[in-house]
């Protein structure tokens, strides 16, 4: 067929005329709608298998045995759940309780507010006049927090969710919200509605012989023990005055006390503040200096020399030192690092200290020399080698910019709001490990003077004087 001498197909191709199109019959349109509705219903039932599965089993039991069948199944399930809860409450809460509570909170909270939250956070996408939202795949809940597993839309990144975490926490009434990548295309949102760290945490119980790969120092905001690996690392502790640096240091010292008595750990301690903090634990320390800057420099240089000697002895034998009573882990603890690296007036001594610390930090992890340093000012000119600390602990800080100085770039965007930690919560900190960019919120235990004195009395090795006790303690 031609129009004015041109073929109709050619004119339709360039848009000058409209090609006749095939129109679907009405019965086929109705059939297609029914198939789509059936498919969506099946998907809905499969995604809610935790609910639809038991209902299906009960219906089958009713069809086969009438009412006694479902009644027997329900009675057996309830008795089994009660027995499980009484025998292993932790696993019951993790496997059953978290799922049931998560489904309840999904229905009453997150389904209702999800669309306005995504639109307000600019996480919804409009394409061809259709609106698409990130999909909630799973919800697990505890008494403290809700964990949502969310499927991202094409083109979205977990960092986009991290940037609007503050917006989302206000929508869902949480005091904190974090966003972490679980796997490509999936992000985990955690909404914390109650804070288990509000209550002070006293001195933690001391294990008989703690594992240096899992040393308990406090509690996380998930109300589980915080375990820190001390082998093959260095630890930087930063916090403003009164933020609770002593809680971190003394929790660490008390946790290591049994190994000090055993001989597999030695504590070399420097307190440039004149001994106001660390003198209480003097019986536990193999080496201790608190007044003479020259002696402090010599202590660090001796540690560096012993580290190099051990390195020569172990090279070709092992790649990681194993502490033993005859060959202990040396923990070099400096209470106020800035007093040695920035505020010391003697430039030569300051250079010697920086050189020894640089050697220990760059080479000490494999041969078993651990540096633990605390400070208030985390600026680069104060701590030029802060990047050599794989484990970083940030307590309350005075400025938002200091968070990334301590924990690394992007830590505050990932939820480490150290500048917002209230003064009423000393010992609360964010911990960032070298192999995990996501900070963990922790509260460290607070050992008081009596707990420190008791630790010294129980675990003081042969070196060091006997701790000074009051009359009641002496009589006991």
DSSP letters for 285-339? -SEEESS-HHHHHHHHHHHHHHHHHHHHHHTTT-SS---BTTBPEEEEEES-THH
One-character DSSP codes across 216-246:
EEEEETTSSEEEE--TT--EEEE--TTS-HH
316 annotated to a ligand binding site: no
| pTM of the complete model | 0.77
Answer whether 357's CB lies under 8 Å from 296's CB.
no
Backbone angles phi, psi at 354, to 5 degrees: -65, -40
126: left (phi over 0), alpha (psi -120 to 50) or beta: beta
Question: In this structure, what token pair is assigned to residue 78?
Answer: 């309830």
- Which residue in 395, 364, 380, 376 sits closest to 334, CA to CA? 376
Report the alpha-carbon distance of residue 396 to residue 404 in Å, rounded: 13
pLDDT tens column, 291-346: 888 999 999 999 999 999 999 998 888 888 889 888 899 999 998 888 888 888 88
**Per-residue pLDDT, 3:** 46
Residue 145 has a CB neighbour count (10 Å cut-off) of: 21
Q: What are phi and psi of 419, to 5 degrees?
A: -75, -10
Cβ-based neighbour number of residue 3 at 10 Å = 12
- Cross-strand bridge partners of residue 287: 268
Consecutive sets of 10 residues in the chain, 476 residues long: mean pLDDT of each?
Answer: 54 48 72 83 69 71 73 75 76 75 85 91 86 90 90 90 90 89 91 88 87 91 89 91 90 92 92 86 90 90 93 89 90 89 85 92 92 86 82 92 88 86 91 84 91 89 46 40
List of residues 6+ apart from 66 with CB closer than 8 A: none
What number of other Cβ atoms are within 10 A of residue 187's Cβ?
A: 22
Output the pLDDT for position 208.
84
Phi-psi region of 316 (alpha: psi -120 to 50; beta: other; left: phi over 0): left
DSSP SS3 for 205: coil
Q: Which residues pair with 139 in a beta bridge?
A: 148
At 347, which helix (H) or strand (E)? helix 347-363
Asked whether residue 245 is marked as a ligand-binding residue, the answer is: yes
Take residue 331 and report the two structure tokens written for it: 């923990």
pLDDT at 378: 81
* Burial degree of 233 (CB within 10 A; 0-12, 13-18, 19+): middle
- Shortest CA distance to 232 belongs to which of 119, 85, 389? 389
What span, in angstroms and rounded, lies between the C-alpha atoms of 405 and 58? 59
pLDDT at 470: 41
For the chain, give the number of residues. 476
What gap in Å lies between CA 70 and CA 67, rounded to an integer?
A: 6
Residue with tokens 């509000």: 198
- Which residue, 335, 344, 427, is CA-closest to 373? 335
C-alpha distances in Å from residue 132, one per residue of 36, 105, 159, 337: 18, 22, 19, 52
242 is an annotated ligand-binding site residue: yes
In the β-sheet with 176-183, what is the strand arrangement from edge to edge? 135-141, 145-151, 186-192, 176-183
Contact 231, 213 (CB under 8 A): yes
Which pLDDT score, from 0 to 100, does residue 343 have?
A: 82
DSSP run (H or E) holding 215: strand 215-220
Residue 263 counted as an annotated binding residue: no
Whole-angstrom distance, CA of residue 261 vs CA of residue 209: 10
> Residue 68: what are its φ and ψ, rounded to 5°?
-60, -30
**Does 173 show up as a binding residue in the annotation?**
no
Q: Do the annotations mark residue 240 as ligand-binding? A: yes
Q: What is the pLDDT of residue 115?
A: 92
246 is in an annotated binding site: yes
**What's the confidence (pLDDT) of residue 385?**
82
Q: Is 243 annotated as a binding residue?
A: yes
**What angle in degrees, to the nearest 10, is found between the helix axes of 347-363 and 293-314?**
30
pLDDT of residue 251: 93
């Amino acid at each position: 067929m031609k129009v004015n001498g041109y073929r109709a197909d050619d004119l339709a191709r360039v848009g000058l005329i409209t090609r006749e199109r095939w129109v679907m019959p009405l019965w086929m349109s109705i059939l297609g709608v029914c198939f789509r509705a059936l498919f969506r219903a099946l998907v809905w039932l499969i995604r809610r298998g935790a609910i639809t599965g038991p209902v299906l089993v009960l219906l089958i039991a009713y069809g086969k045995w009438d009412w006694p069948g479902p009644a027997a199944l329900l009675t057996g399930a309830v008795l089994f759940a009660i027995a499980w809860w009484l025998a292993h409450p932790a696993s019951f809460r993790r496997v059953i309780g978290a799922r049931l509570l998560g489904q309840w909170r999904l229905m009453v909270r997150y389904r209702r507010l999800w669309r306005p939250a995504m639109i307000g956070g600019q996480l919804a996408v409009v394409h061809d006049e259709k609106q698409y939202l990130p999909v909630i795949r799973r919800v697990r809940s505890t008494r403290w927090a809700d964990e949502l597993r969310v499927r991202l839309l094409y083109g979205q990144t977990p960092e986009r969710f991290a940037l609007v975490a503050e917006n989302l926490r206000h929508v869902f009434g949480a005091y904190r919200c974090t966003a972490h990548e679980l796997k490509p295309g999936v992000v985990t949102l955690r909404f914390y509605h109650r804070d288990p760290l509000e209550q002070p945490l006293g001195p933690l119980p001391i294990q008989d012989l703690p594992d240096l790969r899992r040393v308990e120092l406090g509690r996380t905001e998930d109300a589980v023990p915080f375990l820190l690996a001390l082998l093959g690392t260095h630890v930087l502790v930063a916090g403003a005055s009164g933020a609770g640096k002593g809680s971190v240091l003394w929790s660490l010292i008390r946790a290591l006390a049994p190994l000090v008595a055993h001989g597999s750990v030695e504590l070399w301690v420097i307190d440039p503040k004149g001994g106001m903090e660390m003198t209480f634990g003097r019986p536990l320390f193999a080496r201790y200096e608190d007044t003479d800057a020259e002696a402090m420099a010599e202590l660090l240089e001796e540690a560096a020399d012993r580290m190099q000697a051990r390195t020569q002895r172990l090279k070709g034998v092992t790649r990681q030192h194993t502490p033993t009573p005859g060959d202990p882990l040396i923990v070099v603890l400096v209470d106020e690092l800035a007093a040695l690296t920035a505020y010391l007036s003697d430039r030569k001594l300051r250079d010697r200290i920086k050189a020894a610390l640089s050697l220990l930090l760059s080479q000490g992890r494999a041969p078993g020399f651990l540096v633990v340093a605390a400070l208030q000012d985390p600026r680069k000119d104060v701590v030029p080698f802060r990047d050599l600390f794989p484990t970083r602990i940030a307590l309350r800080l005075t400025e938002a910019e200091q968070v990334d100085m301590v924990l690394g770039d992007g830590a505050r965007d990932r939820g480490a709001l150290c500048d917002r930690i209230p003064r009423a919560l000393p010992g609360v900190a964010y911990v960032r490990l070298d192999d995990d960019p996501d900070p963990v919120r922790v509260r460290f235990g607070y050992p008081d003077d009596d707990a420190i004195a008791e630790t010294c009395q129980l675990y003081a090795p042969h070196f060091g004087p006997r701790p000074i006790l009051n009359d009641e303690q002496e009589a006991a």
